[in-house]
Amino acid sequence: MDTDDLEPIKKPDNIDFDTLSIKELEEYIEELKNEIKKAENFIKSKGKDKMKAEDLFKK
């Protein structure tokens, strides 16, 4: 198990977009996209684990 899995989920702070430059906003969007991809991969992994467990207990 990855130690990141044990850390609590941090909600993002309220960001004042008016204070950010276009470049900073683009970087922020990329960070969010990376987090979304990470979450999607984790969902897939959990789904595979669930299927394995269900198969194990069906036998």
Assigned domain for 2 exists = no
Cα 12 from chain centre = 13
49 close to 57: Cβ distance less than 8 angstroms: no
Determine the pLDDT at residue 19: 94
Quote the domain boundaries for residue 42: 20-59
Assess if residue 48 is contained within a domain.
yes
pLDDT (tens digit per residue) in 6-52: 666 776 678 899 999 999 999 999 999 999 999 999 999 998 888 88
What is the C-alpha to C-alpha distance for residues 35 and 6, in angstroms, rounded to an integer?
16
CA distances from 32 to 25, 35, 39, 46, 49 (A): 11, 5, 10, 21, 26
The answer as to whether 12 is a domain residue is no
Specify the higher pLDDT residue, 59 or 52.
52
In a domain, 1, yes or no: no
**pLDDT, position 54:** 81
Task: Domain count for the chain, please give it.
Answer: 1
